[in-house]
């Protein structure tokens, strides 16, 4: 299956949106003699699939509608999160509400090269109740979309029974309604019961994926591929023929039979400030280009350019006023 020519593409991104704290200085520049109260942090909202949704909406033309599906609480932070998503012109009708939960929180720290590390507080995240309403499973929010995008983080935070039900629902939509499934493995070991469960579950989602957006580091960490060729052979066994393998500085590789590779050596050098959302923003650029009918190399270029723009700024999402 592939993107069809039509007047309006409807894209749904599914996942967990969180409160983000981004500190003002890299870790190595913090003066430990200064009272910590003097250090500032910027408060934003973010989350891997939300980052993609926002950048996809910003890059897309008027023929693309982007919606976001998550679960939030009824508290002030949850309300502000939904208002923020609305402010990015993203449809929020698929957002669910959990009465006794709130949104998760994470803090970003970066080193001198812009490489980041995270600290999370997400045990009571409402997103863990996604698709669970009144003790029943409810996937009605997934109907009537051309493309559904999610990540392994989306899947990892759900109970095992809901993961399996979500897999079955997406498989049905793909087969019966020609919905395209876009997936990014985004492997986070701490979110999984075990590596073997993560490997089995993520493999199952790759098998129903039409547009694959893996990162080589995540894939090799989880599947222990000995080299890039073994990784590519594994993806071929899933039946995937569209997407991009993100390979950091050496540039992305297309996953079609032609396997186009983007040569980044001739592109402008990027001033890396913060690598947060590098892969998420690449996904947005790639998907936006594909929706607009771009070639594989055109989509790889669009993804790389969007990521380069994002990692030159601090935080996952560049403020709209600076975009």
Tell how far CA 275 is from the center of its chain: 14
- CATH superfamily name and code, 9-15+50-66+76-96+131-322: Ribokinase (3.40.1190.20)
DSSP string over 92-125? -TT-EE-TT-B-EEEEEEE-TTS-EEEEEE-TTB
Q: What is the DSSP letter of 127?
A: G
Q: Quote the pLDDT of residue 76.
A: 95
Q: Which long-range contacts (CB under 8 A, 24 or more apart) does 258-264 make?
A: 258/296, 259/232, 260/296, 260/297, 260/300, 261/300, 262/297, 262/300, 262/301, 262/304, 264/304
- In this structure, the strands spanning 41-46 and 18-23 are antiparallel
Helices and strands per DSSP (H, E), number in the chain: 9, 15
Question: What is the token pair recorded at 250?
Answer: 């050496």
Question: What is the token pair recorded at 93?
Answer: 């009708």
Residues 77, 42 contacting (CB under 8 angstroms): no
- Only one residue has tokens 């019966």, namely 176
What positions carry a catalytic annotation? 280
Please give the Cα distance from 102 to 87 (Å, whole number).
20
Please give the Cα distance from 42 to 253 (Å, whole number).
34
Measured CA distances, 282 to 98, 104, 302, 309 (Å): 31, 24, 8, 10
Q: Quote the pLDDT of residue 32.
A: 47
Task: Report which of 322, 315, 323 is spatially closest to residue 51, judged by C-alpha positions.
Answer: 315
Low-confidence ranges of the chain (pLDDT < 70): 1-7, 24-39, 114, 116
Per-residue pLDDT of 14-69, as tens digits, reads 999 999 887 766 555 544 444 555 667 788 899 999 999 999 999 998 889 999 99
Please give the Cα distance from 77 to 69 (Å, whole number).
17
Angle formed at CA 229 by CA 260 and CA 245, multiple of 5 degrees: 45
Domain boundaries, the chain: 9-15+50-66+76-96+131-322
């Amino acid at each position: 299956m592939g993107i069809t020519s039509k007047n309006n593409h409807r894209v749904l991104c599914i996942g967990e949106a969180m409160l983000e704290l981004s500190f003002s200085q890299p870790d190595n520049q913090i003066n430990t003699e200064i009272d910590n109260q003097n250090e500032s942090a910027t408060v934003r909202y973010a989350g891997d699939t939300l980052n993609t949704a926002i950048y996809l909406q910003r890059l897309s033309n008027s023929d693309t509608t982007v919606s976001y599906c998550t679960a939030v609480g009824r508290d002030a932070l949850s309300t502000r999160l939904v208002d923020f998503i609305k402010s990015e012109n993203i449809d929020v009708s698929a957002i669910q509400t959990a009465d006794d939960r709130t949104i998760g929180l994470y803090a970003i720290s970066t080193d001198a090269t812009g490489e980041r590390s995270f600290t999370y507080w997400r045990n009571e995240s409402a997103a863990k109740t996604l698709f669970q309403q009144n003790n029943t499973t409810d996937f009605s929010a997934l109907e009537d979309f051309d493309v559904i995008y999610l990540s392994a983080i989306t899947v990892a935070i759900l109970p095992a029974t809901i993961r399996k039900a979500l897999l079955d629902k997406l498989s049905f939509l793909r087969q019966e309604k020609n919905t395209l499934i876009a997936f990014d493995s985004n492997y986070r070991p701490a979110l999984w019961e075990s590596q073997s469960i993560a490997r089995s579950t993520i493999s199952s989602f790759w098998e129903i994926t039409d547009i694959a957006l893996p990162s080589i580091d995540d894939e090799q960490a989880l599947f222990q591929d000995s080299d890039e060729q073994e990784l590519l052979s594994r993806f071929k066994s899933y039946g995937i023929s569209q997407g991009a393998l993100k390979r950091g500085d050496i540039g992305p590789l297309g996953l079609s039979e032609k396997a186009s590779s983007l040569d980044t050596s001739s592109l402008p050098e990027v001033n890396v400030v913060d690598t947060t959302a590098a892969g998420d923003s690449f996904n947005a650029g790639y998907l936006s280009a594909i929706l607009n009918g771009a070639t594989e190399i055109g989509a790889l270029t669009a993804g790389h350019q969007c990521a380069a723009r994002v990692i030159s700024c601090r935080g996952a999402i560049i403020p709209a006023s600076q975009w």
